[in-house]
Every structure is written in C-alpha cells, then in structure tokens.
Structure 1
Amino acid sequence: MKSLKDKKILIIYTGGTIGMVSGPNGYIPVPNTVRDILSQQSIMHHKDMPSWDIFEFEVLLDSSNVGVAEWNQMGRCIFDHYRDYDGFVVLHGTDTMAYSASAMSFMLQGLDKPVVFTGSQIPLCEIRSDGLENIFNSICIAAEGVAREVCICFSGKLLRGNRTVKLSSDRFIAFESPNYAHLAEIGINIQYNEGALERPDPPADGLKLVEFRELPIGVIKVFPGIQFSLFEGIMTERLRAIVLETFGAGNIPASDNALLPIIKKAYEHGVIITVCSQCLQGTVSLGTYETSRGLSEVGAVGGADMTTEAAVAKLYYLFSAQYSKEAIKAMMSQNMCGELTE
C-alpha cells in the first residue's frame, strides 16, 4: 500500500471565496491566487505530504454562478484525470457547494476514490482565513482513501456530499448533514466513522461519467398564505420535474384544496413531483397526516429525508441518464448513493 507521501492529489479550483481578493466592488476570484499562496506554505511541501497539482478553471466563478455547465466541467475534469491521481480536492464557493457535491455524487457513477469539496469563509489572502486548514485536511483525506465517495470537508468535519446543507454564512462551521452521521471528525487524528461510509464494490468497468442536460426543473417552497394558482402557469408539458418543499412530514395548507388539482394536472403532463421537507431533520411520510395524503393520491412521490439540493441533483441525473418517467418516479424514493434513508 502506498504511504501518504507517495499519493498524488489533484486540486481543482473552480472559484469561490477561498481564492478571492478584495476588488473595487467587493471580493472577486483572481487567477493563480490559490496556487501562489499554497506554494508559499511550508506545510504544503512537508516531506510526508502527498504530491499535489492544481487544475484551475479558465473562468473562475462565485459559486452563485455555478450551474449545470460548471457541474459538467467538474465531472469531466475528475473523469479525465481519474487514472492519474489517487484522490481529488475541489475548491468551491460555499453558497452552492452542497448542490455541486450532490451533483458529483450522481454524475460520477462507479466512483472508488475520494472527491473532497472544500472552501473557506475567509479568503486565503486574509488573516484568520480558515482556508489553509480546510485544504490541508481535505488533501490528507483524499490521500488516505478511506472515504471513497463525494464528501464535504469543512471546519473539522467530513460530511457526505449529498446529505449536506449550508447552515451559516458567517461562522466557520458552515455545513451540516442533519439526517446523516458525520463521516469523520478531524482533530489530532482523523477519526473515521466506518459504519457511515459508503463501501461500494470496485466497478468492473471503471468510472462512468453521466453529464447533465439543461432541463426545466423547479423548486416551490410552501408558506402560509401561498396562492397556489400563481404556479399553475408553469405546470405545463415543458416542465420536467419539480421539488415541492412542504411543512413537516409532507404537509400542505388546505387553501380550498387549490394545490392538488394543479399537482394532478402537472402529473398528467408527465411532470415528476418530489416532496421534500422544509425541516432540517426528519423525513417526508406522505399520508401520515390528512394534509399530506392528497399529494400521493395525485401522483407526487415522497423524497424521504433527502435534502432539496440532493433531490434537484438526482432529478438532473435521472433525466440525463434517460430513465423513463415511471422509473424516475420510483427511483426518487429509493437510495442510490447514500442520499436518503429508505
């Protein structure tokens, strides 16, 4: 078995706070900033450190601007370099990191190496930055090869990527996985939670990349007083899927039963309706309460304890992989890569 110093890690810099500098209109990502700062850190050249290279996106983005095209770019980069490296660290802005990590967990089918997303709340160029520690921990985790899945490493915690949500915009502990155990706690040692890790059998045909297509997928968050009729116009044949963020275990306001006919109409048009909960913890259980029973009766499917981020990414994957609508509806409530508890 290779020692850590014999491992090779590819750092993929997509943009985000970690490599930003102050500009006239606020922080902006600047090319080569991450490479220059890391090259000056003695710890990054320690004799026991894995070797590392940096691949920098030609166009660096604030993560608010990351979309399907950028997910495909990340996936292609990992796929193209998969044989050459033992693990991958993706430097990414925090705002949409949970979406991108979820997307990679579905896009990279047959993954058998660590893909570790990280970033920072304070840029590397500033004092008190949390970026260097996050990068260093992520490289070590990617090199150790214990967590052979898509993860987020942030502020001393390792989380499953497709179970993660962003909790805070101004604290170092920015992410949590409310419905799943931490994959590791990072202190003096990295303590892995062996029972929580995915243990896939190495695929016989290696890694497979399923690039996502641009698709009309929507998210609607239910709130008190919502006028469902405002959304009737988007429930057409053009819409492919929608994630409905409901109260509690899948509950919706009665509102003179206005939503159910709209959902039924959408379902008849072939739209896949997945129900997720606005609660950080717990699961959707359609039919537990009268206010949720009608959703399943008109064709909606419960998303169990999936995050909205994971549900959106999963829909992109299933449609892009060209599953039938019947299969997609069934698979949205089935576990594929650790995204939900069946």
Structure 2
Amino acid sequence: MNTRIDHDWHTERMKRRILVIYTGGTIGMQSTDKGYLPMAGFHDLVAQQLKTGAVDKLPKFDVIECSQLIDSANLTPTDWTQIGQLLAIHWQDYDGFVVLHGTDTMAYTASALSFILQGIDKPVILTGSQIPLLELRNDAQDNLITALLLAANYDIPEVCIYFNGRLLRGNRSSKIQSAGFDAFDSPNFPWLARVGIHIDLQQSLLLERKVPSLLIPEFDAEAVAIVQTYPGMTARPVEAMVDDTSVRGLILQTYGSGNPPDANKALIQTLQRASDRGIAVLNITQCSQGKVSQGAYATGATLNRIGVVPGADMTLEAAFAKMHYLLSQSLGVDAIRDALQRPLCGELTR
C-alpha cells in the first residue's frame, strides 16, 4: 500500500527520527495540460530538493508515500482512518510526524486527527504548500523544512498545522486564503508559535502531554450533514437531511451569535423533529470570529427549547470532525450532545 524510503544523509548527532507521510496535495504535484495533478516519486523529489549545504542540520527522517495520492478536494472521512492507522502503526518508531496534505481540506484532517489521537505525547504537524515543490519559486521547501525542525526539536504534544511562519492548533485552524502564502489562521485561538528569525513557541498554550490510546475509528462518511442558514431559505433541504436515515449528526451554521430564522416555522419544526428522532444537532456561527451564545437573542433561545446544542467558538472543520468522531464511538445521543459542548482536545472555549 505504501512505499517507505529511508534517507541517511543526516549526521548521527541527530537523535530524533521523524516520519513524513505524503498523502498528496499541491506540495507534490506537477503541472499538466489538465492543471496540477498529484505525482508519484515524491520521496525522490524531497531527496533532490533538500540536498543543500545545511542538510546535516536536518533531523533524520523517513518518507512514506501513500500509493493512492489524492487531491484533497476529494478527501472523505475514510481517509482520516487511513492516515490515523499509518500514524498508529509507526507511532513507537518515531519521535514526531509530519503529514503532507492538500490545503483545501487540511484543517478538516488536522481537526479529525486531533480527536483520533487525543492525549498524544509527540508532535503531529500537517503542512503543504500553495506552489508545488517542483516549481522554481515555491513556499513548499520552507514549510517542509520548518515542519521537520518543529517536529524534531520541540515538545509539542498535539496535532498542528504549520504554514508560512504560523504554528496553529489543528482543530482551531481554517483555510482563509485561496492563493496567499498565509493560507491558514486560527481566528479564535492564539498561534502556538510564530516562526521568523527565531521560533517563538508559546509553551503555556500547549495541551497536556499524555499517552494516546491509538485506537483508530472507522467513520461513516454519510453520518454528518451541514446546513447554512440564508435569507429566505426553505425547510426542504433540511427536511431531506432529517429524512435520510443515514444522517445521525447535523451541523447548523446560523447568523451572528447563533441566531436562526425562527419565523420560519417549518424549519424550526424540522429541527425539532431531528432532535426528537435522535439526531444530534449542533449550532455554530457563520462568523469567522466569535462564538455562539444561544439565547442571547430570542431567536437563538428557540434552539435551546428544541434541544439544539450550542457549539461555542468551534470552527466548521472542528465541528464536523468532532461530530464524526463522537458518532464513531458508539455513544448514545445524550452523551454525544454533552460531549459536543465540552472541550476534548482544545477545540473550543467554554
């Protein structure tokens, strides 16, 4: 399934060993007449690009290249399981991990891995690039080298995204730029580190170091649906989701501090029916900053009455991944509703 390539260009002084998992994404793509596409042989490209005069300062690392490389726009929750399994298989053999991933859904995968690997005692750092490593001018090499150095030289016991000088908690991250090098930010949580001339790690922000269970769950890709409120919306799309027996979790993106169009009686009745049917309904804000205060306005209080769970300041990516994770744990709906409101690995502020 995977190809493992060992790189022994590094001095024996470097004691920590890092595993790089290449899943696909722009960082390893090549230009074709159809646009950028994933290319095989990424390990050879890395070997060529990193043979510099400073290579002896890099940690010792190995590369695993997944046999089925994906454009991250095609990511499904099943891919989270496969990445998690790769990490679990090699967990005891390495001191840190770098996961190379496409930017479009990187924040979803970082969020999912944060729940799958709760309590980790080693760094897992996702990175990628906006321009492929193969191109003369690119952001790929700096992101890769810095992610390797962070994973090897710093005690960071959580899943993170490193991109363009920012180390971010994975489940607090969102892609905010489609073309800029500063593609990611964490609007409701400080950066874990700022990387410039020096690496300024905010140790006090890091999660507590524990020992993960490494029990990697299987995910049902159809179990979670998302609906966003908009002016003049009808209840029909939500009715279709609620009537779909495969849907067990519904994420509602409402206005401002968590306000739905409560004058839309059919919509509220449909959400009530979802709650009564045992679907966990989670309310998050459409705003990139701030949190849901369900009940600050009468419209939001309506959701409290029908059993909709307020999602605090979770990103959409974290909410989606957390719902999937909780549904994979064979919990009852009341336990899921309770856990959605509690921080499991730093994904929300109470």
Normalised by the length of structure 2, the TM-score is 0.93
Residue 322 (structure 2) pairs with residue 305 (structure 1): no
CA contact (8 A) 2:118 2:345 kept: no
SS, match of residue 109 in structure 1: coil
The equivalent residue for 1:282 is: 290
- The 3 A distance-change label for structure 1 pair 207 and 256 is closer
> What is the one-letter code of the residue matched to 2:123?
P
Contact 2:262 2:268 in 1 (8 A): no
Q: Match for 1:235 among 217, 239, 242?
A: 242
Cα distance in 2 for residues equivalent to 1:299 and 1:157: 38
Q: Provide the C-alpha distance between the structure 1 equivalents of 2:206 and 2:332, rounded to a whole number of angstroms.
A: 30
Match for residue 213 of structure 1 among 216, 219, 233: 219
After TM superposition, give the deviation of residue 44 of structure 1 in Å: 8.6
Q: CA deviation at 1:179?
A: 0.3
Give the alignment of 1:96-111 within 5 angstroms: 96-111=105-120
Report the equivalent of 2:17. Answer: 8
* Partners of 1:211 and 1:256 in 2: CA distance: 38
- Aligned residue number for residue 264 of structure 1: 272
Mapped contact 1:29–1:60 kept (Cα < 8 A) = yes
Deviations 1:232-277 (A, max 9, x none): 1321343201100000110012344332111110111110000010
Q: Given the alignment of the two structures, is residue 183 of structure 1 paired with residue 189 of structure 2, yes or no?
A: no
Q: Does 1:36 align with 2:42?
A: no
Q: CA deviation at 1:86?
A: 0.4
Number of the residue aligned with 2:8 = none
Output one character per residue of 1:250-305: Cα deviation in whole Å (capped at 9) or x when no partner.
Answer: 00123443321111101111100000101011010110001111011101000000
How many residues end up aligned between the 2 structures? 337
Task: Give me the whole-angstrom Cα distance separating, in 2, the residues matched to 1:298 and 1:163.
Answer: 28
Q: Which amino acid is 2:259 matched to?
A: N
Q: Once the 2 structures are TM-superposed, how far is the Cα of residue 208 of structure 1 from its aligned partner?
A: 2.0
Partners of 1:245 and 1:158 in 2: CA distance: 27
Q: 1:4 to 1:338 in 2, by over 3 A?
A: farther
Q: Which residue of 2 aligns with 1:315?
A: 323
- Gaps of at least 5 residues in structure 1 are none
Aligned to 1:222: 229
TM-score, length of structure 1 as denominator length: 0.95
* Separation in 1, partners of 2:264, 2:48: 63
| Structure 2 equivalent of residue 76 of structure 1 | 85
Runs of 4+ in 1 over 3 A off after TM superposition: 37-40
* Unmatched 5+ stretches in structure 2: 1-11
Equivalent AA in structure 2 for residue 287 of structure 1: G
Code of the residue aligned with 1:127 in structure 2: it is L
Tell whether the 8 Å contact from 1:87 to 1:115 is kept in structure 2 after alignment. Answer: yes
CA drift at 1:191: 0.5
How much does 1:207 deviate?
3.6
Distance 1:81 1:44 in 2: 30
Taking only aligned residues, the RMSD between alpha carbons, in angstroms, comes to 1.6
Q: Determine the structure 1 residue equivalent to 2:144.
A: 135
Task: Report if the CA contact (8 A) 1:219-1:244 is conserved.
Answer: yes
Q: 1:165 aligns with which of 161, 174, 181?
A: 174
For residue 282 of structure 1, what is the amino acid of its counterpart?
G
Q: Distance in 2 between matches of 1:92 and 1:164?
A: 14
Distance in structure 1 (CA, Å) of the matches to 2:53 and 2:319: 37
8 A contact 2:119–2:158 mirrored in 1: no
- 1:218 and 1:241 in contact (8 A); partners too: yes
Q: Distance in 2 between matches of 1:323 and 1:337?
A: 18
Greater displacement, 248-257 / 70-79? 248-257
8 Å CA contact retained: 2:43, 2:65: no
Following TM superposition, by how much is the alpha carbon of 1:4 offset from its aligned partner in structure 2, in angstroms?
Answer: 7.7
Deviation, 1:187, is 1.0
Task: Give the 3-state SS of the residue equivalent to 1:18 in structure 2.
Answer: helix
Q: Distance in 1 between matches of 2:286 and 2:339?
A: 21
Distance 1:337 1:4 in 2: 34
CA–CA distance in 2 between the matches of 1:25 and 1:19? 16
Equivalent residue for 1:334? Answer: 342
Q: Are the structure 2 counterparts of residues 250 and 13 from structure 1 closer, same or farther at C-alpha, using a change threshold of 3 Å?
A: same
SS of the residue aligned with 1:208? coil
Contact 1:220-1:244 within 8 A present in 2 as well: yes
Distance change >3 Å, CA 269–CA 194, structure 1 → 2: same
Which amino acid in structure 2 is aligned with residue 211 of structure 1?
P
Question: Superposed, which structure 2 residues align to 1:47-126 within 5 Å?
Answer: 47-126=56-135
